[in-house]
Amino acid sequence: MAIAIAIIACQSLQLPSKPSASTAVTIKLSGWGGSPVEQKLLRQVLQDFEAQHPTIKVKYEVISDQYMDVIKTRLVGEAAPDVFYLDALEAPFLMSQNVLEPLDAYITPKFDLVDFEDNLLNSFKYQNQIYGLPKDYSTLALFYNKKAFAAAGLSSPPATWDELRNYSKKLTGKINRYGFGEIPELARQAYKIKAFGGQLIDQNGYATFANEASLQGLELVVDQYQKDRSSAQKSDVGTNSGSEMFGQSKVAMVIEGNWAIPYLTETFPQLEFATAQLPTINNKKGTMVFTVAYVMNKQAQHKAEAWELISYLTGKEGMQKWTGTGFALPTRKSVAKNLGYDQDPLRSPLVAGVNYATPWQVGQYPSAIVNNFDNQFVSALLGQQPLKQAIARGQNDANQQIKAME
């Protein structure tokens, strides 16, 4: 598929001239299915865009299953949408294939590019060009049960990982079955690897997560789970997510993103909880940041109009409408300030982490890296093999798969 995409990208395309004001142009926008609330809000923002741009119509399509596979297949078949969502995790591969339109030539001083958080914008840069503009983001924060803390005599959230482990022991078996809910996926562990100087991939995109520095961060997780017995995975307590574990009071603390706030407030209205920045590890602040951009198909027939849509959705007005309800955080600093999220009791820890967060991005072959790490780390967590052996096996398997895909 990568070769096919590259071949298609090399074909020169003759773009039609810009339509007259009396001609309505249809721009196709594709994304994955979010919550019904999210989809309704996006449709409202798109209606506002169309009202302000009467010569442009937007055909919004939700791809509910196998999103990236569908997009890649359509890119090969020259049937991809004009504008579509692109997760930061998947961005390096598509940016390297010359199938996305660089946006630098469209960006004017009025667009105020410097208003974007650098850590988010950088995830969509490749060879000094910008290929996407981030529409929203979330970092990770510590969610904690206020009643459980009070019952255990704890008055403030843990500031260090050692404190978190001590808190977990005190909280386990009280109001909650376990003190802490652990999500063992690489997407939640990468910042722990970085805390001791470890890296996920090298400059050539090969996995390097099995070095000694990386293992130090991962040992914290294994020790808490196996020795302290104060943490649990979602499967241990019969739930489907960290948010559900926490909402059902199976655990007193969990590390989650902004998406957990509306879920918890709506689904568990009696739950009294608070958030805090993640505890430091090895005296270093750390968290993850997840972001998604709008990108333009290089084969789009109406690029000027496609840019109008992207610039509205990621401009100050469109972004304020999109993120104003609080289920997503704005990638523009000015919008975040206008909405007061840096002062919001629940969201301010998430906003505070954006500058020092580790972006969720692991090179051009993320599935090989992520799947092999996740499989082997869970095996180590369950005591099926030693951590060092498991992670070395995951790294080796990942690199064999990458070599086969190159």
Which string of DSSP letters, residue by residue, matches 44-62? HHHHHHHHH-TTEEEEEEE
Residue 364 in 3-state DSSP? coil
Domain ranges (residues) in the chain: 13-138+290-359, 140-288+362-405
CA distance 284 to 220: 15
CA distance 289 to 291: 7
What local confidence, expressed as pLDDT, does residue 15 receive? Answer: 42
* End-to-end Cα distance, the chain: 11
- Band the pLDDT of 34: cuts 50, 70, 90: confident
What's the one-letter identity of residue 47? Q
Please count the other Cβ atoms lying within 10 Å of the Cβ belonging to residue 10.
8
Using one digit for the tens of pLDDT, what is the confidence trace for 210-251?
Answer: 999 999 999 999 999 999 999 999 999 999 999 999 999 999
Residue with tokens 């010359």: 98
Please count the other Cβ atoms lying within 10 Å of the Cβ belonging to residue 349.
21
21 has a pLDDT exceeding 60: no
Q: What is the rounded average pLDDT of the residues 302-329?
A: 95
Average pLDDT, the chain: 93
197 has a pLDDT exceeding 50: yes
CB 141 within 8 A of CB 353: yes
- 367 CB contacts (<8 Å, ≥6 apart)? none
Please tell me the least confidently modeled range out of 24-38, 85-99, 304-318, 391-405: 24-38
CA distance 199 to 210: 9
What local confidence, expressed as pLDDT, does residue 35 receive? Answer: 80
- Band the pLDDT of 16: cuts 50, 70, 90: very low
Please compute Rg for the chain using Cα positions.
22
CA distance 172 to 255: 16
139 has a pLDDT exceeding 70: yes
- Band the pLDDT of 167: cuts 50, 70, 90: very high
What local confidence, expressed as pLDDT, does residue 263 receive? Answer: 93
Task: Tell me the angle at which helices 212-223 and 366-381 cross, rounded to the nearest 10 degrees.
Answer: 50
What local confidence, expressed as pLDDT, does residue 38 receive? Answer: 86
CB 76 within 8 A of CB 10: no
Q: What is the rounded average pLDDT of the residues 268-285?
A: 97
What local confidence, expressed as pLDDT, does residue 2 receive? Answer: 54
Nearest CA to 278 among 341, 194, 178, 377? Answer: 194
Residue 64: its H or E element = none
What local confidence, expressed as pLDDT, does residue 175 receive? Answer: 78
CB 288 within 8 A of CB 358: yes
CA dihedral 322, 326, 331, 336 (to 10 degrees): 110
Which range scores top for mean pLDDT: 72-81, 131-140, 319-328? 131-140
CA dihedral 250, 255, 257, 262 (to 10 degrees): 30
CATH 3.40.190.10 holds for 140-288+362-405:
yes
Residue with tokens 């865009």: 49
CATH no. for 13-138+290-359: 3.40.190.10
Q: Which residues pair with 358 in a beta bridge?
A: 288
Q: What is the rounded average pLDDT of the residues 300-306?
A: 96
What local confidence, expressed as pLDDT, does residue 36 receive? Answer: 83
Nearest CA to 73 among 144, 164, 5? Answer: 5
Single pTM value for the model:
0.92
Angle (CA) 184-190-192 rounded to 5° is: 90
Sign of the alpha-carbon torsion through 65, 67, 70, 73: negative
What local confidence, expressed as pLDDT, does residue 5 receive? Answer: 53
Q: What is the rounded average pLDDT of the residues 5-17?
A: 45
Domains 13-138+290-359 and 140-288+362-405 in one fold? yes
- Band the pLDDT of 48: cuts 50, 70, 90: very high
CB 9 within 8 A of CB 72: no
CA distance 374 to 394: 8
Cα–Cα separations (whole angstroms), residue 110 to 14, 119, 256: 29, 21, 35
- Burial class (CB within 10 angstroms; exposed 0-12, middle 13-18, buried 19+) of 326: middle
DSSP 337: H
Residue 142 in 3-state DSSP? strand
Q: What is the rounded average pLDDT of the residues 117-137?
A: 97
Please count the other Cβ atoms lying within 10 Å of the Cβ belonging to residue 283.
7
CB 286 within 8 A of CB 192: yes
Cα–Cα separations (whole angstroms), residue 47 to 41, 44, 57: 10, 5, 9
Q: What is the rounded average pLDDT of the residues 300-320?
A: 97
CA distance 390 to 378: 9
11 has a pLDDT exceeding 80: no
